[in-house]
Amino acid sequence: MAIWNLGSINIDMVYALPHMPEPGETLAASSFDQGLGGKGANMSVAAARAGAHACHIGGVGSEGKWTVDRLTEYGVDTRYIAQLDTATGHAIIAVDPSGENQIILYPGANRALTEDQIGQALTAANAGDILLMQNETNMQAEAARIGHQLGLRVAYAAAPFDAEAVQAVLPFIDLLFLNEVEAAQLQAATGKAPQDLGVDDVIVTLGAKGARHFNGRDGSKIDVPAQRVTPVDTTGAGDTFTGYVLAALDRGLPMAQAMTQASRAGALMVTRHGAADVIPDLKEVQEAKF
């Protein structure tokens, strides 16, 4: 089977500064790093490195061809990424010596996708494939509706969180990923607990406490503990968890096993600096000693 990911692709530009700039102040950066980012790209890489056939649906500008090449190198099927007449999404990230950061995010091509592009990509999908989305592109509700009509298993990672965006896709999704804060915000907006949303499977990540699965069919719950590690960078950990869960489900693993494997992948991820470029592969996850 395959995982079809309607997802963002960002260029992350990270500048190390002596301190955060004051209004009108010009600062020289002591270092600069550029890498592949975006929640969508992270999830595609995670799914591919976990052994799934991950097909990314998205867009970049002419200057972003290298991001597509990088995704291909990591095993992602990039045939459904369009080159659009706008800049690639990018993040300008300033980091001070204490680790505090400020981020300017430009969505760019991530918000210039068309329904025709999504429909054409999904005509290659098979019933039972997984369609994944996050809140960093446009066309989420339209894609969810198309996926639902085609018999795909529709998954939504509700980040960056927006209650209206989640509620727009709820009628069409089968699996919902939230963190603890997002789950509380969604319950406040809808008045419904995770197991009462009408979604078959809801997974709430709980940070160092692990993750919880809510079965919307019978109301049962599964708790999966987190691995004990010393984190150095939590960037991309949630995206890695999501990609690994879906890859495991795609291989036919039961939910508890899928979440356990994803928890191990997320634990490895937080011991590394970076995002898509440092997501562990399945062999690393299976052999890791915690």
pLDDT tens string 175-229: 999 999 999 999 999 999 999 999 999 999 998 899 999 999 999 999 999 999 9
Catalytic site includes residue 239 = yes
Q: Which pLDDT value is given to residue 231?
A: 87
pLDDT, mean of residues 11-24: 94
List 77, 129, 201, 239, catalytic entry:
239
Question: pTM here?
Answer: 0.94
For the stretch 224-273, pLDDT in tens is 999 999 888 888 899 999 999 999 999 999 999 999 999 999 999 999 98
Helices (H) and strands (E) in the chain, counts: 9, 13
**In angstroms, what CA-CA distances link 154 with 27, 52, 108, 171, 173?**
45, 16, 25, 10, 5
- Tell me if 86 sits within 8 A of 109, measured CB to CB: yes
Determine whether 194 is exposed, middle or buried from the number of CB atoms within 10 Å of its CB (0-12, 13-18, 19+). buried
Residue 99 pLDDT more than 80? no
